Structure 1
């Protein structure tokens, strides 16, 4: 049996957490005093310092998530902080800086909208940085999704061309940053012409205004079609995205900002014979610790930009953070920092 190492008697018996007791509007996000979660063998307990706010947590709050079937639930699919308690022989130690994401957090078990969270040790990424918690808290889920889709699903290489459809989303901005760092030429979309500057600021070579049909615009830039495409708008535009890709190029379905996750009466024959289709829905393991560390170092050195939209302080501002995310008026990640 594994022995446990812990931060000591400093850990309180209860904590504050944002709890959704029933689906609803912003008022369904209630701050409650609940017991600090008990760590199971093979899991770690993390003192949460910051967490990003995501669309999936809005979905949880509204009761629209298939992955959340029971309430009450503490939302939060990602978080950063320090180890409070871990198995002694598990390679993690109290006080160590860590990030965690996905793997059922905030869905099948309570997530990071709290002062403490427990998660399986295998979905923890250790790191060391002097960056502030608001910056680090913005990164895990969006960098994991962006890096995983670019590397695992698309295998993007220097010199290739990448289309990002849904470019002003947090994952879209992160993907542009990482793809530019790889050495790819990046075409990225926005629905609003006045947001093209936001795309250029993260390294996008060719911003395109998306009116629902962009294939002709993309081929004006790359006549033979792009090597790879990240689809984040949804299934309604997927046929048009196919038209943007070269022969034997690949489309990776990552998300559905427009809400269309499925295709009614889907037929495999809708996929062009010359284009490959894949999807990405990875986990923390798809963002190796050394890759995350390099990203943190690059941000600290100023060669990589963290797309932070707005920072909120304390669980009391979680409602404001979700409202800000839903408004869509502030580009970049919405991050909640827990002071103290």
Structure 2
């Protein structure tokens, strides 16, 4: 038996329960992991509330990131052995492969031996944020040296990962955050510029920083912010939308799109994790960045496993700067 987190109905953090379940041995091609740390993501809160891109059968587990020690391997698994320190690439289906538990089983292709210098908490805070940012900025947008890039929700784990990746390729990260409360922290985290969207004119601020326009925008928010973002973009620019945090409708900026031939593109990290060749390239980029120190996960706060409800409340508070990690 092992403790896992499940929910039997959709709702707030209070619906999460820690329950004892039987964990079967790993099947062919699978790796069973004794979890040491979990990384929390907004996607998990969305699935818990019933607003995620997947609708699970209840009761359901959840979770996309974990790090721990290999406990057992299934038939046909090469490259892993009991005792290896590993972390998990986010799976395509959270209900199928939930990560919130003391023991979890994942396909071997989603398991990575992380660098020895990376502790379990940092390893659990790595893959979702860096894969998401890498896929958008490097794989799709081909962000280049000297280019300005706008990053909204900049104090989130993905936002901070995007700032680090932009710096690693020589680009100029422009952080967009709601208020100036996190401005100094964002500058310290590597942002070249910070614009507080609720305190200043976003369009004017971006145009002052990048008079020729911004080719690449990474947005997690949607809603009314689309208007000033596209107004500040350059001809042929691309806006990658990966979140939709705003509860307000998202306008389609028709005139800007036509006049500048813009691309407004939905993006999911599954585009990278579901393509073996692109995933291998992403893993090399991220592991090299972790080894060199160019990429370093920012952990906002850690919670013990028993306080998963409190951790989810903090996740939804918007107060965090970086990744929330749960230790097991």
TM-score, L = length of structure 1: 0.86
CA distance in 2, matches of 1:22, 1:37: 25
Shift of 1:50: 1.1
SS at match of 2:139: helix
Tell me the alpha carbon deviations over residues 280-307 of structure 1, each in whole angstroms, 9 at most, x when there is no partner.
Answer: 20233536332232232234xxx54321
Give the CA RMSD over aligned residues.
2.3
Match of 2:302 in 1: 311
Match of 1:321 in 2: 311
Match of 1:238 in 2: 226
CA distance in 1, matches of 2:250, 2:192: 31
Tell me the alpha carbon deviations over residues 295-334 of structure 1, each in whole angstroms, 9 at most, x when there is no partner.
Answer: 32234xxx54321100112x20211111111111221110
Match of 1:183 in 2: 170
Q: Does 1:44 align with 2:31?
A: yes
Match of 1:271 in 2: 257
CA distance in 2, matches of 1:153, 1:292: 16
Q: Does 1:121 align with 2:108?
A: yes
Note the residue ranges of structure 1 that are not aligned, 5 or more in a row. 1-13
- Aligned length, in residue pairs: 318
1:201/1:321 Cα in 2 relative to 1: closer, same or farther (>3 Å)? Answer: same
CA distance in 1, matches of 2:102, 2:29: 20
Shift of 1:88: 4.9
Match of 1:101 in 2: 89
1:176/1:334 Cα in 2 relative to 1: closer, same or farther (>3 Å)? Answer: same
CA distance in 2, matches of 1:158, 1:101: 28
Match of 2:205 in 1: 217
Shift of 1:179: 0.6
Question: Greater helix percent: which structure?
Answer: 2
Match of 1:7 in 2: none
Note the residue ranges of structure 2 that are not aligned, 5 or more in a row. none
Match of 1:289 in 2: 283
TM-score, L = length of structure 2: 0.89
Shift of 1:35: 0.6
